[in-house]
Structure 1
């Protein structure tokens, strides 16, 4: 079942609105979509550029899963975003970068931010925040960014509207969520791995308190990055800024 979509003209942040609704006790699963955000956020508290014409969406969920298991939803979200972009982008241009950036021709086109907390009715609320550069890409980012408009298929003249993109995303997410709920995480992880680049080469992971370099050796069963360091030890990286194809 595809949750309803609430389309708003203007809001501070779709994730912030999802948090407000969840903490007020709203148990409903729904998409909160905005044409414009005034205080969008990315990972690690970074500002998320919010040009009109791009997609800003958050899915609210109530789950009885443990926090560790619920965190797998970020892989579900990445696959849904990849499906959205593949519906309009040039063939072969879409890929995923661990853990949840979606790329077009190697440049970042979308990001995902999952937040959670205890729900008044019990269980966890999840806010699956998704930003997709449909028509514009931000300047001055640490790594190059792009937008769908720059990578459309030859038979597609314009990127989808916010409404159309939200509909495609909601349908794709529901399909991957159903697979996750019925078959477990491994089938989701297998497809995610097949779409993800850089999992078998040099990389650098910035973890806030330290920087670790080595060679990526795929992912663990829970989706953590397996990083073999120069001294031969194996590090499991669950979150961080990871740059593939680079060595310290």
Structure 2
């Protein structure tokens, strides 16, 4: 069994239907220790709202399964920890000025999406799914995409990337457990794109436009417009006025 210095177990597969589905299967068996599942190829990978996640061999697809400490209602804050984890990891390979964070859980590289995050509550467990474009920048989407290999001469292998993700995640997780969300929030805000600008937020039943005024102490987006202030806990953000 391979383990990272944190003690977290690591399993690498040539192919899986989905690392997140594998995490669900293990949660049903009451797995005792934190564990990463990484696949070089996924046949049924998915992201938010069940959307397909396009992956080629060489890209990163991984899920961390563990039992988080603290109240269940605070688990949403972990998405900001994971976003920072990705930013700090990519900093090791790419100029940090090229890397930005987009609410709620995207990582941008050169202004285009390079990585995505999916948190799934599984009773006592939390599954953190992460996808990173290392060699492939999928087309045909409603947003621009980027890949790491266009920004570095030495893009990492998936296992190498996972080792650095594991290091940064547990460092930030321990900080969060010791001091709470404020320092995580401040560091996320420092790297966030679009704060102070006009954005459009697509919700299930409406579309809103206004100024992005940052996030509150729970990580919700603060939107200000002529209609007043709205606190948004989930939605899709687009930069610029309503389309």
TM-score (norm 1): 0.92
Q: Which residue of 1 aligns with 2:225?
A: 229
Structure 1 runs of 4+ aligned residues shifted over 6 Å read: none
Pairwise CA RMSD of aligned residues? Answer: 1.3
Could you say what secondary structure the match of 1:142 adopts?
coil
Q: How many residues align?
A: 238
Q: 1:24 and 1:115 mapped to 2: Cα distance?
A: 17
| Distance of 2:158 and 2:21 partners within structure 1 | 19
Give the superposition deviation at 1:151.
Answer: 1.2
User: Which residue is 1:75 aligned to?
Assistant: 80
Shift of 1:175: 1.0
Please, which moves more after superposition, 106-115 or 134-143? 134-143
Q: Deviations over 1:86-112 (max 9, x none)?
A: 111134100100111001111000000
Write the distance in 1 (CA, Å) between the matches of 2:222 and 2:133.
29
Residue in 1 that maps onto 2:3: none
Aligned partner of 2:128 in structure 1 is: 128
Contact kept? 1:2, 1:170, Cα under 8 Å: no
TM-score (norm 2): 0.94
In 2, Cα distance between equivalents of 1:25 and 1:197: 39
Matches within 5 A, 1:16-95: 16-95=21-100
Q: Indicate yes or no: 2:8 matched with 1:3.
A: yes
Q: Which runs of 5+ in 2 are unaligned?
A: 1-5
Aligned to 2:17: 12
Contact 1:3/1:31 (<8 A) preserved: yes
**Structure 1 unaligned spans of 5+:** 119-123
| Separation in 1, partners of 2:147, 2:238 | 20
Q: Please point out which of 193, 196, 202 is paired with 2:198.
A: 202
Deviation at 1:2, TM superposition (A): 4.6
Tell me: CA distance 1:80–1:2, structure 2 relative to 1, closer, same or farther (3 Å): farther
Q: Hey, what's the Cα distance between the residues in 2 that align with 1:11 and 1:36?
A: 6
SS at match of 1:36: coil
Give the structure 1 partner of residue 139 of structure 2: 139
2:144 and 2:55 mapped to 1: Cα distance?
A: 17
CA distance in 2, matches of 1:247, 1:87: 36
Other structure's SS at 2:118 match = strand
How much does 1:64 deviate? 4.5
